[in-house]
Structures are given as C-alpha cells and as structure tokens.
Amino acid sequence: MTATLDHRSTAITTAPARAASPVPVGARSGPARTSPSRRERVRKGAPDIHVATPQLQLSSKPAALVLRTARLAGPVFRDEAAEQTALSVSTVNRQVGALLKAGLLRERADLAPAGAIGRPRLPFELNVADFLTLGIHIGYKVTSITTHDLYHRVVGAIQIETPVADTPADVLIAIGQSARRFLTRWTGRRVLWAGVALGGRVATGGLVDHPRLGWTAAPVGRVIAETVGLPVSVASHVEAMASAELVVNPEQKKSSFLYFYAREMVGTAFCVDGTVHTPAAGPPVIGHFPTGPTTLLDPAKTGQLEAAASDTGVVTAAQALGLRVVDIEGVHDSARNGDATARALLEERAEVLGRTVALIADIFNPDHIVLGGQAFTDFPATLPTVAKALKATSVVANRDVRVSHSGSTVQQQAAGAVSLDAIYADPLEALAVTA
C-alpha cells in the first residue's frame, strides 16, 4: 500500500419555469431581484423556483470543455484550447465567443504576443471578478455556508450550529436566512447558483431523507431556493466530496476511485470514467457495518461502525472511560498532551476505519482510494494505523491510498462542487436559468 497526500489544488430540473433571479449582492434588505413575469407568478401564489439534481461528472459539452480548460490552464490561446479539448478551432472560437458574451470568460489583451501582424491573438481566462456561487453544507451539528468563485476556491466562509426547530422546513428557513445575510458581504458580485450538500438520501426535487436529523422527504431544494432566491442543486455530501476531487483533479477521469468519508457520519462514493456513481436508491449506507472486535470503542456493544467510530461515538467511549471531554477536539487535545487512553481510543478508531476501507475496496477494486473527513485529517498521527489495518485486511497487497486534498475544508469543498455543478456541466444553459 502506498499512502500519498494530494496537495493539488447537469441538471434535472424539477420545475419547468425559469429560476429565481440571482441574489443582488449588496442590498442588505428587501427581496431578491425579480423579473416582472416572476413577480406576476408570485402574486398568483406560484413562486418561481428551480431545483436541480447535480450530474457530478466531467461534462463533455463543448462549452463545458472550454470553460474547464480556462479554469485549469488559463490564460490560454484558442488554438491551445482546441488542442487540449480535442475540439476544432472553429468550435472553440464559437464557444469562447459565447462565453465571453455571457461574461464567464474574459480576454487578456495585455498578454497579446508582441509584434504580431494582423488580428492579435488574445488569450482568455475565467472571469472570477464578477461571479460567485453559494455553498451550504448541512451537518448533524454544524452547518457551513460558503461563497466560491469560478475556480471553486472558497471566497468566504462561516459556520453556524445546525438549527433545532419543530420541522425540517423551519430548520431550512433559518439556514437560508443565515446564508442570505452572509451574501450581503459581497458587493458588485453576481451570485449564480446555490448548492446544498448533506447526509442522507437525496431524491429528485431536492427531497431528503436524513435519519440522523429525523427528516423524511424534507423539501431542502424548494425551501432553500425560496429563501435565498437562487436556483439550487442538492446532493448527498459524500458524493459531492468525490465530485470535488474530480473538480481539482480531472485527470482522475482516466481511473476509478473509492471515496471514503468519516466524521460524524460514515459514507462512501465510487467514481469511474469521470462520473460519481449515484445509485437509484441513494448513496450506500454503511453506518451499520460491523466493526469487528473493539476494546475501548463502542461501550454499548452495538457492533456498528457509525456508533463506534463517529465523532460522537469516540466521545461517548472517552466519557465512559473517565475522560473529561465534551467533544472530539477534547479527545484530540488529550491525546496530544500525552493521555494514553485518548491516544489508544484514536488508534482503535483508525484500526476500525482501516479494516472497513479494506473490505469495501475489495468489493469495488478501485484504482485508488481517497480518504476524506476529519476522522482522518484532524489527527493525522493515526494514519499509519489506518494504513496498517487496511494492508492487513485487504486481499490486494499494495493499494494506492491518498488523503483528500481538501483536508479540514472537505465539507466546504463539497458544497462548492454542488453549487458549481450546473455551471461546469453546461455553463450557457446555467446562465439562461439564472437570467
């Protein structure tokens, strides 16, 4: 097994009507900007919303290929873009012209070759000055709200405690209102899209079953779209995390990988041929997986992975052993300060996770494995234990295992990938929706 740390930095519409217009960032009060036709529909009691199921794949549409080339290689000349995308020069010219008109690209006249005769060759690049997207990751305890530029970079971020309310709609309205207030920090930037990533199963229309939050068919897409006034994409967060890996490492299109996430929840996603596989029944649920033998973890003897190896599970075990901690950070701090019991708990968690990764990898047999989530990244001293347990359990002697490039920002990167999915998949169509 090799362990390396990676430092490299389409939409099924559920409503046929046009989406809510983008939030006019800079206005601290009042409703989102609306067109007359939308205002008329709202008066009739039919709010105009757009909820999409993200594709979570590397799009092959010409406009998407050109936009991706600008994101990864810009500033780039058109003939170079044609070579990199395998499109004809005329096709690239048409797509660049359309993307320039839409404002997603900009030309760099300052980089025109000196001494050229005739029409100057101007390279183009992404226009990161004018556009943002909104990312929301709803966690069991903490919700992160972020803005992203067209490079998928985090421009700004806040965290709030996930609200507790009588109904899922009340929780979502509170989150949406926090997100809307957050967007007022950026003036002169057009917010194109919102993306929501969260645990549980996501059905068409952004309806979510989330057992840990007690939600059944929660209208996540509709409520967030109505509250923030943006078109919204909703995805399971582990699949979104795998998609974020593709965004920053598109060469992984040539291989398959298993994404394994562990923090408060545990989940997996499988990516092949540049597409995150989404089962019709929803993402695989592995919280019930048997842990195998444990000594310190799982004092209630459930024998189940999530109860034993989640953040809450580790804290529960620590408290049962007499450690005076209230959260996982307290366990980490105790281990760093030399507490043998805390260190043993974290080592056992790493061993349990390593065994589970090996078993699932042996089923999918991916080209490589990506480990994501704070269970791996917040206490990296236990990564050798993960590697040892994985190697001892797997039938493959040397699996290629990598720690996610996202580190502790994995939830933010996942939400950003969902918020940019429609734009990366079909940029001109996405802008038509936001018009």
31 and 154 both lie in a single domain = yes
**Dihedral sign from CA coordinates of 392, 396, 398, 402:** negative
112 and 76 Cβ atoms separated by less than 8 Å: no
Choosing from 111, 126, 141, the residue where a domain stops is 126
pTM of the model: 0.85
194 falls within a domain: yes
84 and 193 both lie in a single domain = no
Q: Give the pair of three-digit tokens for residue 5.
A: 């740390």
293 and 200 both lie in a single domain = no
Q: Give the pair of three-digit tokens for residue 244.
A: 């974020």
17 falls within a domain: yes
4 falls within a domain: no
231 falls within a domain: yes
413 and 152 Cβ atoms separated by less than 8 Å: yes
Phi, psi of 182 (to 5 degrees): -60, -35
The CATH number of whichever domain residue 427 belongs to comes to 3.30.420.40
270 falls within a domain: yes
**Dihedral sign from CA coordinates of 205, 206, 210, 213:** negative
The CATH number of whichever domain residue 116 belongs to comes to 1.10.10.10
Residue pLDDT tens, the chain, 435 long: 433 333 232 332 333 333 333 444 333 333 333 333 334 444 444 457 899 999 999 999 999 999 999 999 989 999 999 999 999 999 999 999 999 999 999 999 888 876 555 456 899 999 999 999 999 999 989 999 999 999 999 999 999 999 999 999 999 999 999 999 999 999 889 999 999 999 989 999 999 999 889 999 999 999 999 999 999 999 999 999 999 999 988 887 788 999 999 999 999 999 999 999 877 776 767 889 999 899 999 999 999 999 999 999 999 999 999 999 999 999 999 999 999 999 999 999 999 999 999 999 999 999 999 999 999 999 999 999 999 999 999 999 889 999 998 888 999 999 999 999 999 999 999 999 887
Q: Give the pair of three-digit tokens for residue 381.
A: 């001293």
Residues constituting the chain: 435
Q: In angstroms, rounded to a whole number, what is the distance separating the alpha carbons of residues 60 and 275?
A: 11
Sequential DSSP letters for 242-293: HHHHHHH-GGGGGS-EEEEEESSSEEEEEEETTEEE--TT-SPB-TTSB---
378 and 420 both lie in a single domain = no
Q: Give the pair of three-digit tokens for residue 352.
A: 């349990």
362 and 279 both lie in a single domain = yes
427 and 67 Cβ atoms separated by less than 8 Å: yes
- End-to-end, the C-alpha distance of the chain in Å comes to 50
Q: In angstroms, rounded to a whole number, what is the distance separating the alpha carbons of residues 431 and 47?
A: 20
Domain span at residue 96?
A: 62-126
Position 33: which residue type? R
302 and 169 both lie in a single domain = no
156 and 25 both lie in a single domain = yes
Number of domains in the chain: 3
